[in-house]
Amino acid sequence: MAANTSGVAGYLHLCGVADLPIELKSYSANYRKEKSDVRVAWTTSSETNNNFFTVERSEDGMNYVVLGTVPGAGNSSEPLDYSLIDNNPLPGTSYYRLKQTDYNGNFKYSGTVVVNCPFISNLTVFSDKNGSSFHFYTEQESPVQADIYNMQGSLITTNLLTNIHRGENEQKLMTSLPTGLYILTLRDGSKVVTRKFLSQ
């Protein structure tokens, strides 16, 4: 499912400080379907007295939590690229913003970027000689269709999972597979999440 995102470019908003310490050339947050994560990326055109950046996330656009910090360059007149990965994005709509902090403790916020993530997320597959199982998170209790394909794109098996609950779920694969690479696809209506895995 493609994310609905918007980028913010320009200067960080002023927060009671006369001089802007950085020029923000671009700022974006995008859901990556192949990794089930969100990549927050930004580029500065110049930096002055820049200590670090903080990436924050919110469910409602008002209350934010800190996802992580990234060191700044201090002083630079060259374009610099930065990024931070949210490995556990919230299903549905989330809001991301960037906070920049000077060496003297003053800080400024960027504009907000909206990201829409599938309601099924954090899909991981575990496989050993005793079989394979998979783990995922969902915001809904509706049935989920689990399909397994080979690397040529042919459907190997399909199962409708009905014992799904809101939150973390763990399921065993219903079919014994020969050793090799496969693709597991979870489908909840129009929402689709896929993951490659090795059957042992």
Q: What is the pLDDT of residue 10?
A: 33
Amino acid letter, residue 191: K
Give the pair of three-digit tokens for residue 117. Answer: 């993530």
CATH 2.60.40.3080 is held by the domain 120-199: yes
Rounded Cα gap, residues 42 and 94, in angstroms: 18
Can you tell me the distance from the alpha carbon of 40 to that of 28, in angstroms, rounded to the nearest whole number?
6
pLDDT tier at 168, thresholds 50, 70, 90: confident
CB contact set of 34 (below 8 Å; sequence gap of 6+): 194
Domain spans of the chain?
A: 22-117, 120-199
Q: Which 8-state DSSP code applies to residue 21?
A: S
State how far the Cα of 153 lies from the Cα of 160, in Å rounded to an integer. 19
Is the distance from CB of 157 to CB of 120 less than 8 angstroms? Answer: no
Q: Is 165 left (phi over 0), alpha (psi -120 to 50) or beta?
A: beta
Q: What pLDDT, on the 0 to 100 scale, is given for residue 6? A: 39
Between CA 55 and CA 23 the distance in angstroms is 17
Lowest-pLDDT range, 35-44, 51-60, 163-172? 163-172
The hierarchical CATH code for the domain 22-117 is 2.70.50.50
Residue 11 is predicted with a pLDDT of 35
Whether pTM > 0.85 for this model: the answer is no
pLDDT in tens, 21-46: 889 999 999 988 777 789 999 999 99
DSSP string, 98-120: EEEEETTS-EEEEEEEEEEE-SE
Handedness of CA 69, 73, 76, 79 (dihedral sign): negative
Please indicate whether the domains covering 22-117 and 120-199 agree at the CATH topology level.
Answer: no
